[in-house]
Amino acid sequence: MSFNCATHHFFKVFATDLQPLFKMPSRTTLRADCVALYEEENGLLYDLFAKMDCKVSFTSDLWTCKGKDRGFMALTCHYIDDDWKLRKRLLNFTPMPSRHTGQHISQAIYDKLILWNLDKKAFSLVLDNASSNDAAINDLLSRSQFRKNLLCDGNLFHQRCACHILNLIVQDGLSVMSGQIDAIRDTMKYIKHSQSRMEKFKLAASQEDVSYRKPAYDVQTRWNSTYLMLDLALHLKKAIIRYAKLDVRYPFSLSDDHVVTLHGHLKVFYDTTLKFSGTKYPTLNLCFPDFCEGYLTIRNMYSSLYPFIVDMGKEMFRKWNKYWENGNILLAVACALDPRCKLHVVEYYFKMLHSSELQDFMTNLKQCFDDMFNEYLLANTNASQSQTGCTAHASGSSSGSVQQTNTKAGLKDFLNVKKQYDPMISELDQYLTEPLDHSSLDDDFDILSWWKLKAPKYPVLARLARDVLAVPISTVASESAFSNAGRTLSPTRNSLNDESVEALICAQNWLRTSVIGIFAPIFIFFST
């Protein structure tokens, strides 16, 4: 909603009818109030981040502005709070040149991490698959001061958006399926073309005792709409066959087998994309087994009886190998941090994918897991010793007996720490060797509640799990996960200056994720 709305005659009439005593502020006052609220919330969020002792991960995506030689970069922070709740906050909506390079992206991200004092808390960055993003990652990791604070020397920092990968894979597969899909699309268009055909189709559905659903065809740039069109065709197939008998001019010939087969293969990727683009639950722990299922689905296409499915599988396999190769270590670590899976599920799937490389992969995975745990163990030990030293210093005295008491107290704390983190019986080894948790094998399993409950038993490993599980596997929400189209700023927001755009979009995100009083709905109204 534009700030000019405040000066519109009929909006003033509307506001006066609601409350005759209300005096509508000017658009300048409205803008100033919105920016002031943004700055206030910005300060509160900064203080919140300063108090957190966990790592945070980031996603970034680019927005375009129609008719203008500029764009924007949205940078979002993802973390798990002290209550073990998954949170995300939009940090900035930064102006970017329309022809941006990897260095532009890298500098913009780095500047914002410094501004929010999150450069030392960074865990990972999830980006779409683009050469400019790869260049941005390389530029970020070339900054030694930034890289030294990253886990495992930054080797786990860059994560590719899984939904973007799946979208590219499926789009490539569908590119060789135009003939089969066109027949279904043309059927839907033909029936929808006139009211008389629609009425005749309703009759056909009634005669076949099929619950009527309005025919619809897909938007070709969004492959989920193609899947949903196939799903609809599958539901209406008896009605379509009957309609062909009622309409002598019906020109198409559909194969039931083709529709069923294509629908079944796409369903795997449709369901996986929906799961990966969720925002209310951790997704990283779900990625490894579901990615492997997708790989096996593509591989099984090679043995299909239908040549078009074989061709589709070849295209998808080519794209899959470009991005997947031999797996992703962090995805496997996240899977192992799921108490229903641990290393057993990783081993099971990888053996089916690359049995000859299983031993090397599992060795590398265990080594990476150990390295990650040891870094967290060292940080936790240093924090414990620092706290002990501060306590001893604060209670120090010139008395020799008191000094001796403090020294012994420090020794006792030190030995307790050493005992607790004896590498021979590490938390990691204990966790991995204990039986799998079979109490919740369904999709409703709350992995964050499980780790919250087990944190006293695995204090260091729980800190690691908290940071790993906060990493999203997608940069986009479900409604954008199926499309190749970029994000575009609305014409109303496009007319505002950069400061106003960032204030409105960021504050809207913060207000929707927190309770700040009765004025939040009013702000959200003007920011949409």
Count of domains for the chain: 2
Convert the pLDDT of each residue in 10-35 to its tens digit. Answer: 777 787 878 888 777 777 888 888 89
Convert the pLDDT of each residue in 74-117 to its tens digit. Answer: 999 999 999 999 999 999 998 887 778 899 999 999 999 999 99
Separation between Cα atoms, residue 181 and residue 226, nearest integer Å: 8
Q: Does a structural domain hold residue 467?
A: no
Separation between Cα atoms, residue 336 and residue 331, nearest integer Å: 9
DSSP helix, strand, coil percent of the chain (3-state; round to 5): 65, 10, 30
DSSP string for residues in 16-69: HHH-TT--PPPHHHHHHHHHHHHHHHHHHHHHHHHH--S-EEEEEEEEE-TTSS
Q: Does a structural domain hold residue 342?
A: no
Residue with tokens 């957190």: 52
336, 368, 397: which is the final residue of a domain? 336
pLDDT band at 478 (very low <50, low <70, confident <90, very high): very low
Looking from the CA of 82 toward its CB, the CA atoms found within 13 Å total: 5
pLDDT of residue 211: 94
Separation between Cα atoms, residue 490 and residue 390, nearest integer Å: 54
336, 352, 380: which is the final residue of a domain? 336
State whether 197 and 273 are in the same domain.
yes
State whether 272 and 175 are in the same domain.
yes
pLDDT band at 325 (very low <50, low <70, confident <90, very high): low
Residue with tokens 């799990």: 465
CA dihedral 78, 74, 91, 83 (to 10 degrees): -20
φ, ψ for residue 397, nearest 5 deg = -150, 160
As beta bridge partners, residue 59 has 76, 126
Residue 418 has pLDDT above 90, yes or no: no
Residue 272 has pLDDT above 80, yes or no: yes
Residue 385 has pLDDT above 50, yes or no: yes
Separation between Cα atoms, residue 507 and residue 38, nearest integer Å: 5
Residue with tokens 């030689």: 69
Q: Does a structural domain hold residue 289?
A: yes
Q: Does a structural domain hold residue 196?
A: yes
Residue with tokens 């599920």: 345
pLDDT band at 519 (very low <50, low <70, confident <90, very high): very low
Separation between Cα atoms, residue 431 and residue 366, nearest integer Å: 13
pLDDT of residue 16: 81
Highest mean pLDDT among 52-66, 369-383, 461-475, 486-500: 461-475
Q: Identify which has the larger pLDDT, 129 or 361.
A: 361
Q: Does a structural domain hold residue 476?
A: no
DSSP string for residues in 301-354: HTT-SSHHHHHHHHHHHHHHHHH-TT--HHHHHHHHTSTTTHHHHHHHHHHHH-
What's the mean pLDDT in 226-230? 92
Among 195-209, 315-329, 359-373, 505-519, the least confident range: 505-519
Is residue 126 within 8 A of residue 287, CB to CB? The reply is no
State whether 128 and 238 are in the same domain.
no
How many distinct helices (H) and strands (E) make up the chain?
23, 6
State whether 139 and 186 are in the same domain.
no
Separation between Cα atoms, residue 92 and residue 105, nearest integer Å: 13
* Antiparallel, parallel or unpaired: β 86-97 and 158-160: unpaired
DSSP string for residues in 346-359: HHHHHHHH-GGGHH
Structure-block tokens of residue 149 = 């604070």
Residue 501 has pLDDT above 90, yes or no: no
In 176-215, beta strands by DSSP E:
none
Q: By C-alpha distance, which of 461, 444, 443, 440 is closest to 452?
A: 461
Is residue 102 within 8 A of residue 135, CB to CB? The reply is yes
For residue 220, the enclosing domain spans 167-336
Contact residues for 52 (Cβ-Cβ < 8 A; gap 6+): 79, 81, 82, 121
Residue with tokens 């008491």: 405
pLDDT band at 39 (very low <50, low <70, confident <90, very high): very high
Residue 489 has pLDDT above 60, yes or no: no
State whether 332 and 316 are in the same domain.
yes
Structure-block tokens of residue 472 = 């999203």
Q: Does a structural domain hold residue 509?
A: yes
pLDDT of residue 260: 87
pLDDT band at 520 (very low <50, low <70, confident <90, very high): very low
pTM: 0.84
pLDDT of residue 179: 77
State whether 182 and 66 are in the same domain.
no
State whether 200 and 316 are in the same domain.
yes
336, 363, 392: which is the final residue of a domain? 336
Highest mean pLDDT among 174-188, 234-248, 249-263: 234-248
As beta bridge partners, residue 61 has 74
DSSP label at residue 24:
P
Q: What percent of the chain has pLDDT over 90?
A: 53
Q: Does a structural domain hold residue 379?
A: no
Is residue 3 within 8 A of residue 27, CB to CB? The reply is yes
3-state secondary structure of 97: strand
Cβ neighbour number for residue 131 with a 10 Å cutoff = 9
Separation between Cα atoms, residue 410 and residue 385, nearest integer Å: 8
pLDDT band at 526 (very low <50, low <70, confident <90, very high): very low
What sign results for the dihedral spanned by CA atoms 211, 214, 220, 224? negative
Residue 479 has pLDDT above 50, yes or no: no
State whether 118 and 188 are in the same domain.
no
Q: Identify which has the larger pLDDT, 519 or 93.
A: 93
pLDDT of residue 313: 94
Q: How wide is the angle at C-alpha 514 spanned by C-alphas 512 and 520, nearest 5°?
A: 60
Determine the angle formed by the axes of helices 223-235 and 256-276, rounding to 10 degrees. Answer: 130
Q: Does a structural domain hold residue 260?
A: yes
Average pLDDT, the chain: 84
Contact residues for 171 (Cβ-Cβ < 8 A; gap 6+): 223, 484
Cβ neighbour number for residue 145 with a 10 Å cutoff = 8
Highest mean pLDDT among 180-189, 326-335, 410-419, 449-458: 449-458
Cα 219 to chain center, whole Å? 24
Q: By C-alpha distance, which of 341, 267, 259 is closest to 306?
A: 259
Residue 356 has pLDDT above 50, yes or no: yes
The secondary element (H helix, E strand) that includes residue 56 is strand 56-64
State whether 141 and 190 are in the same domain.
no
**328-332 long-range CB contacts below 8 Å, 24 or more apart?**
328/159, 328/287, 328/288, 329/156, 329/364, 329/365, 329/368, 330/124, 330/156, 330/159, 330/284, 330/468, 330/471, 331/284, 331/287, 331/288, 331/291, 331/473, 332/288, 332/365
State whether 179 and 112 are in the same domain.
no
State whether 125 and 265 are in the same domain.
no
State whether 214 and 291 are in the same domain.
yes
Q: Identify which has the larger pLDDT, 421 or 261.
A: 261
Contact residues for 280 (Cβ-Cβ < 8 A; gap 6+): 86
Cβ neighbour number for residue 359 with a 10 Å cutoff = 11
